Structure 1
């Protein structure tokens, strides 16, 4: 019997909905941040599990970003498969914030495009807050956005999971909405994604690198690449990024309104609560 195959009788104690919550960088199950509010009180038929991973970004910590995120994806997949083996009738939902949204989105993409040993129909819903790989193709909750995430969009998208996957991004959050001409920022995002690269993602890495180079060449040929990498242009974007960090926009999702009177956290909680 494959993972997620139907069963005539569910074992005792199986939840209707299994929510896998993936915290952001430097967060964990003991300090889940906004995910704590999103996953609190989802109902008796729902079980919540925080996904543990190194959740780091810099080389002097336990793991660089790419390796850390890959660990989060693998742990999410493992928890989902373990649950589905015991409880084939349980449906899976994933919610992630920041690096956790990056991992949750990759997990959903792998399932939705048939690259995981989990059927797309087993995924009840996906919520991504401040996803660095947010795409214009994703289902956006909140005001319209002009750009995409700093890590570049997922090459294969969400596949069959897309109708049940939603992304939320505060417009001034550069992690999930970086101006297209912020090439330094996008290159840094690309380098973070490809740190300790995952072999199965090589096509994704090549596509994003190609997109950045192609856009630079279209704007002004090789000279534009040199100009973009100049100290002056780099300083400009570093200053802009520091202003963004000081603004608190990345941590603003508890108060950011995606609909009149509805915050991002409130919308995500209501969506997950409605799945069971």
Structure 2
């Protein structure tokens, strides 16, 4: 009898160890010691992809005064001169919607200032846009766990996309890092030299939010509710080699000087219709012999063309190479 009880006790202990090990490995689908975003993580071994899901979703975030929260994200029309339309429309023409979903962020893209006191503040607008974009990522990833993302943004939209890419790349974003094929930021107000991959003609300055961080009191006099937050503390993490920074020389939104200088004058520059900032679709001084729009379309197309069929290859095929200037 004593021998039998001993055997039963051993069986129970072994069983508890097995259950504990199973829970240890399967708790929230993550193996301890495995960092978020590593190949083989939860996103790479998720459920089968529904047939209606696109292989890739391209997300575009327009700049200030180029979007509205009521705009159609598939066929935006709020501002027909929006820079992002020079990228999204060619992609929609090139790829069928059942393979590539092109989604443009609808948000209140405004920037309250002394000349437009009735508008939403930059902080509020940026927060709204961030929330809407993250929700789109979460919903798509929930319904289509093997769909990859390409994200791009211009000006205020670049700040939003860059902030979200930083969160994802550092393991606490809306989707796993391995689901992001690439990020392109045009005129990013938080651009920091050496963070991400610089393409196009070199610039020597920094993003306006870095340049003006120590001058926030003066900035508030001209643009109340526009907090200059400085650089992104953790960079782009795992997405650093997939995040491309594009900045036109002398665009004071992304190529601003360091140092104090004339704080009010520089804050005023944030709201002026700077000719360089408004000409990325045609400016030949960013990509010699080409334009930013053409580079972005070629870059995104290269990533899309190399994307695996989710029904055949569950793991994301990450591409980090830079396409030649078309």
TM-score (norm 2): 0.64
Q: Which residue of 2 aligns with 1:51?
A: 105
Report the CA distance between 1:10 and its aligned residue.
Answer: 1.4
1:129 to 178, 182, 186: 186
1:263 to 286, 291, 304: 291
Rounded to whole Å, the distance in 2 between the matches of 1:172 and 1:253 is 12
Whether the 8 Å contact between 1:6 and 1:89 is mirrored in structure 2 is no
Per-residue CA distance 1:74-118 (angstroms, 9 max, x = gap): 111110110011111100111111100010100100101112242
What SS does the aligned partner of 1:38 have?
helix
CA RMSD of aligned residues (A): 2.3
Gaps of 5+ in 2: 1-27, 30-41, 68-75, 211-230, 305-326
Does residue 68 (structure 1) correspond to residue 107 (structure 2)? The answer is no
Report the CA distance between 1:19 and its aligned residue.
Answer: 1.0
Q: Which residue of 1 aligns with 2:242?
A: 164
Rounded to whole Å, the distance in 1 between the matches of 2:112 and 2:169 is 30
Report the CA distance between 1:41 and its aligned residue.
Answer: 3.1
Q: Give the paired residue count.
A: 225
2:52 to 13, 16, 19: 13
Gaps of 5+ in 1: 186-233
Per-residue CA distance 1:141-172 (angstroms, 9 max, x = gap): 11111111001221111110111111111111
Q: Which residue of 1 aligns with 2:70?
A: none
TM-score (norm 1): 0.75
Does residue 23 (structure 1) correspond to residue 73 (structure 2)? The answer is no
Pair 1:40–1:182, CA change in 2 (3 A): farther
Pair 1:53–1:184, CA change in 2 (3 A): farther
Rounded to whole Å, the distance in 1 between the matches of 2:132 and 2:140 is 12
1:154 to 232, 251, 254: 232
Structure (1 or 2) with the greater helix fraction? 1
Per-residue CA distance 1:174-206 (angstroms, 9 max, x = gap): 000101135555xxxxxxxxxxxxxxxxxxxxx
Rounded to whole Å, the distance in 2 between the matches of 1:139 and 1:6 is 29
The structure that has the greater radius of gyration is 2
Rounded to whole Å, the distance in 2 between the matches of 1:76 and 1:64 is 18
What SS does the aligned partner of 2:171 have?
coil
Report the CA distance between 1:261 and its aligned residue.
Answer: 1.9
Rounded to whole Å, the distance in 2 between the matches of 1:79 and 1:158 is 20
Report the CA distance between 1:260 and its aligned residue.
Answer: 3.3
Q: Which residue of 2 aligns with 1:113?
A: 170
Report the CA distance between 1:63 and its aligned residue.
Answer: 2.4
Rounded to whole Å, the distance in 1 between the matches of 2:147 and 2:256 is 37
What SS does the aligned partner of 1:41 have?
helix
Rounded to whole Å, the distance in 1 between the matches of 2:58 and 2:249 is 27
Whether the 8 Å contact between 1:6 and 1:88 is mirrored in structure 2 is no
Q: Which residue of 1 aligns with 2:311?
A: none
Q: 1:108-257 residue pairs with structure 2 within 5 A?
A: 108-137=165-194, 138-152=196-210, 153-185=231-263, 234=264, 237=266, 241=269, 245=272, 247-257=274-284
